[in-house]
C-alpha cells in the first residue's frame, strides 16, 4: 500500500498502524483509510496536514472536514478518511466512528489550536506542528529554515492559519512553550533567523506569557498587528493567595479563658502532687527500704572530721 502520509511527518507523529479497506454495496464503492498515531496531539498534526481550504465541517462535528472527494476526521489518536463521502450513509459513518472511538486515546487536544481567532480565518487552513517536519511542510521555502530555531526539543508547539479580509491577508503563526522563560529564549533565536531571510520590521514577534505570535508574509503591517491583537490568549497572574479574615474575641472572653485555663493547671498540679507524694509515703510504710531510699543505693560524701561512719538510715 502506498504511503498516504509523508514518511517524515508519519515518523514525527509516531505512526503505530495504517489500514485501508474497500467496501461495496450494490453500485456504491467506498474506500476507508485509518491511521493510529502516538497520541491525539500527534494525530491532530496528521489531521491538519490532510485538510485544505474549501472543505467544510461534516455532521461529525468540529474535528472533521468534507468536500466532494473525501471526508477526513479525527477521533482521539486516530485519523480516518472516506472516499467518496457520498457513498456512505450517515448511520454507517456514525457506526464507524463508534467503533474507532471505543479504542481511541481520549487525551485532550493541544490548547494552542483554541488561541486562533476565528474571524476572517480560512476554514481548513489550520496546520498544527509538533516538530520540524510539520513546520517545514507548512511554512514554505521562505520560512522553513526557522524550524530549527523554534525549539521543538524544548516542548514547543506551532499553529498556523491563513486569514483574509478583502485585499488584506497573512498567515498567523503561534508558538506555544511550556514556560515564559523558554518563549523568551527562543524568541531571540527566531529574531536572528528572521534577520537572515527578511527585515525584522516586516515580521515582528510579539510575546504574551509563554506564547509567541507572528504574521508571515502579511499584506500590510497594520493587518499583521490586527491579527496579533485578536489572538485568544490571556495570561493570568495571582498576586495574593486567598486569605481568611481573623477577628479578635471580646476581652471578657479572653480573661475568662485565662482564669479557666489557670484553674485547670493548678488543679492538675495539686492532684498530681498528692498522687505522687501519696504513692511514695504508702510505699515507704509498707515496703520500708525496699523501693525508695535503699541504703545500698545511697551515697553520702563524708569530710572525715570524725571517726564514726555515717549510716544513711540515721536520716530517716
Q: Note whether 136 and 223 are same-domain residues.
A: yes
Judge whether 9 lies within some domain: yes
Print the domain residue range for 97: 1-109
- pLDDT of 2 > 50? The answer is no
Q: Note whether 105 and 115 are same-domain residues.
A: no
110: left (phi over 0), alpha (psi -120 to 50) or beta: beta
The residue out of 109, 142, 173 marking a domain boundary is 109
Q: Note whether 141 and 86 are same-domain residues.
A: no
Q: Note whether 86 and 130 are same-domain residues.
A: no
Task: Identify the helix (H) or strand (E) that includes residue 301.
Answer: none
Query: For the segment 122-131, what is each residue's pLDDT rounded down to a tens digit?
Result: 989 999 999 9
Rounded Cα distance between 249 and 244, Å, is: 15
The residue out of 164, 198, 233 marking a domain boundary is 233
- pLDDT of 154 > 90? The answer is yes
Name which of 49, 141, 33 is nearest 96 in CA terms: 33
Look at 20-29, 175-184, 202-211, 255-264 and tell me which has the smallest mean pLDDT. 20-29
In the chain, how many domains are there? 2
Residue with the larger pLDDT of the pair 245 and 224 = 224
Rounded Cα distance between 57 and 85, Å, is: 13
pTM for this entry = 0.71
Query: For the segment 191-226, what is each residue's pLDDT rounded down to a tens digit?
Result: 998 888 876 667 899 999 999 999 998 999 999 999
Look at 28-32, 200-204, 301-305 and tell me which has the smallest mean pLDDT. 301-305
Judge whether 77 lies within some domain: yes
The residue out of 233, 248, 277 marking a domain boundary is 233
Amino acid at each position: 500500500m502506498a504511503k498516504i502520509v509523508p514518511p517524515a511527518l508519519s515518523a514525527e507523529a509516531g505512526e503505530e498502524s495504517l489500514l485501508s479497506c474497500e467496501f461495496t454495496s450494490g453500485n456504491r464503492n467506498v474506500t476507508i483509510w485509518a491511521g493510529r498515531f502516538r497520541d491525539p496531539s500527534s494525530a491532530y498534526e496528521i489531521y491538519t496536514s490532510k485538510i485544505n481550504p474549501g472543505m467544510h465541517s461534516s455532521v461529525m462535528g468540529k474535528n472533521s472536514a468534507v468536500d466532494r472527494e473525501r471526508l477526513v476526521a479525527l477521533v482521539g489518536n486516530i485519523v480516518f478518511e472516506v472516499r467518496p463521502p457520498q457513498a456512505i450513509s450517515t448511520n454507517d459513518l456514525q457506526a464507524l466512528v463508534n467503533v474507532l472511538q471505543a479504542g481511541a486515546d481520549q487525551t485532550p487536544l493541544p490548547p494552542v489550536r483554541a488561541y486562533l481567532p476565528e474571524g476572517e480565518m480560512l476554514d481548513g487552513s489550520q496546520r498544527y506542528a509538533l516538530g520540524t517536519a510539520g513546520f517545514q511542510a507548512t511554512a514554505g521555502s521562505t520560512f522553513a529554515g526557522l524550524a530549527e530555531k523554534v525549539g521543538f526539543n524544548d516542548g514547543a508547539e506551532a499553529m498556523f492559519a491563513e486569514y483574509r479580509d478583502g485585499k488584506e491577508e497573512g498567515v498567523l503563526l503561534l508558538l506555544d512553550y511550556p514556560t515564559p522563560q523558554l518563549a523568551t529564549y527562543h524568541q531571540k533565536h527566531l529574531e536572528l533567523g528572521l534577520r537572515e531571510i527578511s527585515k525584522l520590521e516586516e515580521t515582528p514577534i510579539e510575546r504574551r506569557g509563554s506564547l509567541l505570535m507572528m504574521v508571515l508574509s502579511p499584506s500590510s503591517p497594520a493587518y499583521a498587528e490586527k491579527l496579533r491583537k485578536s489572538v485568544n490568549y490571556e495570561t493570568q497572574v495571582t498576586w495574593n493567595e486567598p486569605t481568611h479574615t481573623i477577628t479578635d474575641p471580646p476581652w471578657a472572653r479572653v480573661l475568662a479563658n485565662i482564669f479557666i485555663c489557670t484553674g485547670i493547671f493548678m488543679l492538675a498540679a495539686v492532684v498530681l502532687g498528692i498522687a505522687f507524694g501519696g504513692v511514695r509515703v504508702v510505699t515507704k510504710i509498707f515496703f520500708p527500704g525496699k523501693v525508695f531510699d535503699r541504703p545500698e543505693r545511697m551515697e553520702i560524701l563524708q569530710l572525715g572530721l570524725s571517726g564514726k561512719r555515717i549510716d544513711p538510715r540515721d536520716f530517716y
